[in-house]
Amino acid sequence: MSVGGAVVLAVPLMRRLLPWLALALLALSAWWLWPSGGGVPRSALDPVAVAAALPALDAADGFAVLAPAGPDWLPLPEDLGPHPDQRTELWDLSGQLRDAAGEPVGFRLTLVRVGLRAAVERPATLAADAVLFGRFALVPKRAPPIQSERASRMAAGLAGAGAAPPAVWLEDWRLALPARGTDGRLRVAAGGVELDLTLRAVKDPIAPAAALLGAAPRAAGGEDDGPGFRWFAAPRLAASGQLLRGGQALPVSGTAWLDRAWGGVAALGAGGFGASRGQLALNRFLLQLDDGSELLCIQFRRRRGGGTPVPTCVAGAPDGGTRVLRRRELTLEPTAGAWRSPASGAVYPLNWRLAAPALGLDLTLAALTPAQELTLGEPVWSGAVTAQGERDGQAVRGGGRMELGGYAAPTGG
């Protein structure tokens, strides 16, 4: 087939895939938090098993059913808080800090609430209507990553979420979200290290899925609409505070990104995107640059090679505006420097070039450290990266995270 023919075929393919974009991104986030060791045994409390059972439930169980978010949907400040009428919701905060010596430190806290039954008034304070799953990762450049997972029922103060002010907590992990001009705060401890940050919203929330869906036609109804969900991002939070380790308090500062979602998220655990689009794999890049801009890029590709990978980016400007960039406006390709996982045998391209001539931007991306693979279920590389390059001839740098799926050899039948 000619190259021109491949481009023509890619256009309707992207139109079919775009409504699934947010769900695909959330799938990569979900792989982050399934407990992989320590804490509660998987046989006793396995969120994958819980998610697999959820499609058997329906609105009759008391949970609300959402229509897919349209291109004009915008979040409200109240959406930072919980949505107990939904079976599943996610808070995913990630960022990159620098210490006094300028060394980068990546971090990520992912919290997912899974409703077991619709909330009702019950006299028993120990009765739980939901479970909260969490995963925290801290990735220094010159030290091994720290990872911790936990889960708890949302009862008796063990875990919970509130709306005024918006906050979510899991035992001693607490995330208070910045809203209406007020600061938020992150406090989390694991592996002998405690991270304590003040968070301040620099930009208004955006709905990346809405921006992408608005750039391409959608079918009215049918499978292209996908399960109903809401997803928005706080694209730039200023983060400052301290990292406590070994009795020393190290000042750190940087930026963070918040993904917030609720609705049709759990279907991913029982097939969702992966089952219906099994021949495709997804790479995701989330970058914040020191000139005040952001990039959220995805790249669909065939698992077995062949064809041309299809990239799409939502570019955030320093003034808060957004722009969608398509494949003809982008270069997103791996460069030399792959890493083979000793656990899964997967070979991941950990160095990339991202160029957007329309933005005058040319970046090189590199993993902060290679060993950031998650191997529960299908192996996925998901971790912190650095970015450096030029915009219009001026040096620019930054950081963020990268998620690479579909690089491991298939297992089973």
Q: What are phi and psi of 179, to 5 degrees?
A: -150, 145
Which has the closest alpha carbon to 25: 237, 332, 286?
Answer: 286
**Eight-state DSSP code of residue 1:** -
The length of the chain in residues reads: 413
Per-residue pLDDT of the chain (413 residues; tens, 9 = 90+): 333 333 333 334 444 444 444 444 444 444 433 333 333 333 333 444 444 444 444 454 678 888 777 777 888 888 999 998 888 899 999 999 999 889 999 999 999 998 887 766 555 556 678 889 999 999 998 888 999 999 999 988 899 999 989 999 999 999 999 987 889 999 999 999 999 999 999 999 998 876 665 444 343 333 444 557 888 999 999 999 999 998 899 999 999 999 998 986 544 333 333 333 457 888 999 999 999 999 999 998 888 777 788 889 999 999 999 999 988 899 999 999 899 999 999 999 999 999 999 999 999 999 999 999 987 668 899 999 999 999 999 999 999 999 999 998 765 43
Q: Which residue has the tokens 């947010």?
A: 22
Write b or e for each residue in 374-412: b if 16 or more Cβ atoms lie within 10 A of its Cβ, otherwise e.
bebebbbbbbbbbbebebeeeebebbbbbbbbbbbeeee
Q: Which CATH class is domain 3-405?
A: mainly beta
Residue 1 CA to its chain's centroid (Å): 36
- φ and ψ at 375, to 5 degrees? -115, 10
Please, where are the H alpha helices in 159-291? 208-213, 272-276
Bridge-partner residues for 323, per DSSP? 315
In this structure, are residues 193 and 243 in contact, taking their beta carbons and an 8 Å threshold? yes
CA proximity to 120, closest of 59, 176, 61: 61
Containing 130, the helix (H) or strand (E) segment is: strand 130-140
pLDDT of residue 247: 85
The domain ranges of the chain are 3-405
Rounded CA separation 315/358 (Å): 11
**DSSP code for 66:** P
Tokens of 214: 């608005």
Q: Which residue has the tokens 């209406």?
A: 180
pLDDT of residue 55: 47
- Closest Cα partner for 116 from 132, 102, 96, 92? 132
Contact between residue 346 and residue 340 where contact means Cβ atoms under 8 Å apart:
yes
Q: For residues 310 and 212, is the Cβ–Cβ distance under 8 A?
A: no
